[in-house]
Amino acid sequence: MPDSITLTDDVTSATWLPLDGIKPGKRGAVTVTVTFNGPADADIAMYAQGEATGPLAQRLRLAIFESTANLMPFPVFNGTLADFTGHTSYDRGVGRWKGHGDGRDHTVMYEVVWSLPKDADTPDDEPKLGLVWEARAA
């Protein structure tokens, strides 16, 4: 699993983030850094790579925070895994930002915080969260 993604104009990149240690009553976090460097401005959105259904998807809570070197973390999504995986296209994406085509790196860090309620069933295996970032020329 890469811990960083690099985008340019009209590029889509994806990663699968492992949600390690999921057990009832536990929480954890995983991060990924996304850097845009392109010749022209681009609008960037994040969305899910596929849908998740079933009891775990309905109970697993996700909060996704976005931050930069100049901005404190702020939430771009809060809900269940099933809710998030309803965002499966650029048009339904979250965490939108503009990558400036000035020849410099523009970096945003995403932190995915998960929690599973104490009364939830123990998952059969550790799920992975597929995230996609897409940059479209502005």
Separation of CA 84 from chain center? 9
- Of 64, 49, 66, nearest to 106 by C-alpha is 66
- Of 90, 110, 97, 107, nearest to 36 by C-alpha is 107
What is the per-residue pLDDT across 26-69, written as a single tens digit (0 to 9) for each? 999 999 999 999 899 999 999 999 888 788 889 999 999 999 99
| Residue 57 phi, psi dihedral angles, 5° rounding | -60, -30
Strands 27-36 and 4-7, bridge-based pairing: parallel
Is 14's pLDDT higher than 60?
yes
What is the per-residue pLDDT across 1-12, written as a single tens digit (0 to 9) for each? 447 888 888 888
As a CATH number, domain 3-137 is 2.60.120
What's the pTM? Answer: 0.90
Is 124's pLDDT higher than 80?
no
